[in-house]
Amino acid sequence: MTRRGWRRQGAGLYLGNAVRLAGPGAGRPAICVGPRTAAVAGAAGFRATAGPGDAERLMPLVQDLGPGWLHLHGVHRARELPLPGVAVYDQQARALNDAALAALAGDQPVIVPLFSPRSAAIVADGARHARAPLWLVPISAAAGRAWENAQGPRPARLSQAETPTRRGSSRLSRGCCMGTIILSAT
């Protein structure tokens, strides 16, 4: 996947455009889905509150905010929030590359972190003819359901991330085994 508007920093992706498009932080409040976006917003001068990492559990924080709030989001969202919103980035689907297809055609386990319901559905479609044992690590129950709804191949193992974050998925992925191939759904 590519995400227009995201910039690479270290091993992770950080939402830079949404924070830049929000204008100067100047101490204004920002409620962020998770700690990584909150860190970026905080560095930009916002008084950032880190949410629990997924849209479903963010709902209590945004239910009754009143006027003056704006939801900066991607074109594809896991959930509609009860706020006016503006799409500021787009996750564009890409076909699996030759290395990924070769891994799926092999016999070694392939660990597949699923970082969003949309990513899960896209990768499920690309992995439809996999012969390799798939070890799915969905970031959330919604991502796991999206894999099932897209009729992805039945996984050999399924372990939902302990926290709905990249770190939670990575920690679980590393614990699966040594020497396997990892396909990222982002």
The single-letter DSSP state of residue 185 is: -
| 4-56 per-position pLDDT tens digit | 333 333 222 334 556 666 777 888 888 888 888 888 889 889 898 888 877 77
Label residues 13-48 b or e (16+ Cβ within 10 Å = b): bbbbbbbeebeebeeeebbbbbbbbbebbbebbbeb
Predicted TM-score (pTM) of this structure: 0.64
Give the mean pLDDT of 107-127.
90
Say how many C-beta atoms besides its own lie within 10 A of residue 109's C-beta: 20
